[in-house]
Amino acid sequence: MRATLVTLLCAVLAPTITLGAEASTGRDPLSHHTLRIGRSVDGRPIMAVETGDSDSPRKVLVVGCIHGNECSGVAVADRLADNTPPREIDLWIIPSLNPDGAAADTRQNAHGVDLNRNFPWEWRAMVGFYDSGPRPLSEPESRIAVRLIERVRPSVSIWFHQHADVVDDSSGEIAVERTFAAVAKMRLEALAREPGSAVTWQTHCLPHSTAFVVELAAGPLKPDAVARLGAAVLAAGASAPERRLVARC
């Protein structure tokens, strides 16, 4: 009876996984499922979507919004989540890491902390507009991102921001960033390195990964731009070396 109950609970609680036609053709099956990876300060759910070939060593992470007043990237994240699962890429999507900030139209989370200054690598105490929080990973949203990244170990991570209209040559394989910029029809430029940012922490934690910021232009994206940026994400992921990463965090 106990074993039967455990089996039933696992069946109920497991994420829904949809297998594509590849399952009957001998190819790796494609999956698509949505899961809640945590809650914000105010209790809003933070969701992630995994889509594509979950066995692929090419792990790609997309974060549509980390600053609540810079959320045009959510449209790209949603398009990727709604499209046919990509072959040979395990794509992870967080449409919004800062739902409280998005609801309030503020850069910071509900504690007034800039999440992109709250990551551990080279963190330093900052106040005001770029408030970095009382300590590294003080915020639930930052901890949620770290847990997922340490679990998935993405070889490519793309964090959407605004409003500079540039792809930041941030870290890792510049060829991957060039591929994204070319498909997205955006210029590639090295921006200033900021303390406690997500991409600098990722580069430290996963030294053979490529994590970079895409600064979209101000305002909402037009449909053709959403399609182009989605294609750029997949092209960048496909151009990454096919290897499983070893974390040092």
Host domain of residue 164: 2-239
pLDDT recorded at residue 23:
38
Domain count for the chain, please give it. 1
pLDDT recorded at residue 33:
95
pLDDT recorded at residue 243:
73
33 has which bridge partners? Answer: 50
- Alpha-carbon distance of 202 to 245, in angstroms, equals 12
Residue 248 lies in a domain: no
Residue 164, burial from CB neighbour count under 10 angstroms (0-12, 13-18, 19+): middle
Residue 246 lies in a domain: no
Taking each helix axis from N to C end, the angle separating 140-152 and 198-205, rounded to the nearest 10 degrees, works out to 30
Its pTM stands at 0.88
pLDDT recorded at residue 101:
98
Kindly state the average pLDDT of the residues 218-237. 98
- Least confident interval from 2-16, 30-44, 69-83, 207-221: 2-16
Answer yes or no: are the C-beta atoms of 206 and 244 closer than 8 Å.
no
Altogether, the residues listed in the chain come to a count of 249
- Alpha-carbon distance of 6 to 138, in angstroms, equals 35
Cβ-proximal residues to 103 (8 Å cutoff; 6+ apart), any chain? 42, 44, 68
Residue 244 lies in a domain: no
Q: How far is CA 234 from CA 157, 160, 180, in A?
A: 11, 15, 8
The pLDDT confidence band at residue 223, using thresholds 50, 70 and 90, is very high
Residue 228 lies in a domain: yes
* CATH (domain of 151): 3.40.630.10
Residue 249 lies in a domain: no
- Other beta carbons within 10 angstroms of residue 71's beta carbon come to 24
| 3-state secondary structure string across 148-200 | HHHHHCCCEEEEEEEEEEEEECCCCCHHHHHHHHHHHCCCEECCCCCCCCHHH
Residue 158 lies in a domain: yes
Kindly state the average pLDDT of the residues 192-199. 94
Q: Give pLDDT tens digits for 114-148.
A: 999 999 999 999 999 999 999 999 999 999 999 99
Q: Give pLDDT tens digits for 12-59.
A: 333 333 333 343 345 667 989 999 999 999 999 999 999 999 999 999
Q: Tell me the pLDDT of the chain averaged across its residues.
A: 89
Residue 17 lies in a domain: yes
Residue 97 lies in a domain: yes
